Every structure is written in structure tokens, then in C-alpha cells.
Amino acid sequence: FSFEMIDQINKALDKAEKEQGSWSLLIVGNNKAFSAGFDLKTMTKPPCLEQHELFMQGGSLVMRLFEFPRPVIFGCSGHALALGAIMLMAGDFIVGKRGKGKIGINEVAIGMTVPVFGVELARLRLSRKHFAKAVLQGSIYSPDEAVECGFLDIAVDENEFQSTCMAEATRLAKLKNPGFSNTKSFIKQETWRKIHATIHEDGKRLLPREAKL
């Protein structure tokens, strides 16, 4: 995730939110990956304002999808690592494609800190059995393993992937508001509060010392 990609997704969400009636949001990765996370050229620098801003924009995008008032379906077409895996957990239904794709919150394994919003989304979404292994140990999962862990709801073969994504998006589009949006809010409000109360302080880790307030 770069600044440009985050901006493009936000513009697409702005356009989608103007739609009337019952609908769903479907986001599918390319043929190789869903996302490998933040732009490492920025995130591996020493703490700096650019790094902090990318973190805040990425976290805000994840939360926007987490709180989105209509059903959010992700099609995980390959690798989903770091922020990519965290973003999956913000969805309402996640379809995975079987194959060589690797899925996991691997920050700790590469010497980085999992952001608080990633920890809290994992606490809500992942199996208790796999929580510590996935978050604290940076374990990586195959698509079928990711179903058991909780990153994915279903994993299908490549020839079924696109049709399954569309079928689930169509199915969930029939859910009407305010029933859907209210109930989604009830389920997610505790996690939402924890993240919004901590995200700005968490982001200060990435500020240069002289910029911290």
C-alpha cells in the first residue's frame, strides 16, 4: 500500500457510498496477490513523518472498510501479508483462492511491530486457538489453513474463484439497511472503540523523536 493506492481506494469508496438501495462492495486482488502490505521502501526507513503519514492513512483505510455500512467482500487471489492480511480481517466475507498464496500477519517475524488496529481486528476475527501464533509469532498460512485460522471464510479452486466472489457479493447485497448496518455496528463497536482510542498514539512510534508531542 502506497499513498497513491490508498488514495485510489478512498476515491472508489467515495463513489460507492453514493449508491442507493441494497448493494455490496467487492474488492479482489490481482492474479498474483491481494496485498503484501505497506510500501516497504517507506516503512523500513528510520522513523520519519512520511512513514507516520502512510501508517495513519493505511490504518484509516482499514477502519473505513471495517465500519463500511454495506457488506464488504474480499477476494484473496494470492499472497496477503502484513497490512494485506490485516485488511482481510476488516471484511465481512473473505473468499480465498487455493494455490501458492501465503497469508499472515508477519510483522513480528521480520522485526516490526503489529499495529494495535491489527491486533484488535485479529482478536475479533481469528480463532482463539490461532490468535497468538498468528499475531505474536508471525505464522504464515496456506489458503486452506487460513480458513481454519479465520483469515478466510472459504477457499476455492482457481476455476471457481471469480464466480464464488460474485456469488457471495450477490448474496450479501440482498441484506437491507438499517438491519445490516445496525447489527454490524453492534458486533464491531467494542473493537472500533479500542482502535480509535489508540491509533494516534500507536502511530507516534513512527515519528522522529523531535516530532513527537
Specify the range with the lowest mean pLDDT, choosing from 37-51, 149-163, 168-182, 185-199: 37-51
Torsional class of 93: left (φ above 0), alpha (ψ -120 to 50), beta (otherwise):
beta
Measured CA distances, 13 to 27, 50, 65, 71 (Å): 11, 24, 9, 13
- The H or E element containing residue 120 is helix 116-125
Residue in this structure with the C-alpha cell 477457499, named with its chain if needed: 155
d(CA 162, CA 169): 11
Q: Is the pLDDT of residue 63 over 90?
A: yes
Q: Is the pLDDT of residue 117 over 50?
A: yes
Specify the range with the lowest mean pLDDT, choosing from 16-30, 86-100, 130-144, 193-207: 193-207
Q: Is the pLDDT of residue 212 over 60?
A: no
Q: What integer best gives the mean pLDDT of the chain?
A: 94
d(CA 89, CA 124): 9
Per-residue pLDDT, 103: 98
Confidence of residue 213 (pLDDT cuts 50, 70, 90): very low
In this prediction, residues 166-174 reach a mean pLDDT of: 98
Other C-beta atoms closer than 10 Å to the C-beta of 83 total 26
In this prediction, residues 5-28 reach a mean pLDDT of: 95
Per-residue pLDDT, 207: 76
Confidence of residue 10 (pLDDT cuts 50, 70, 90): very high
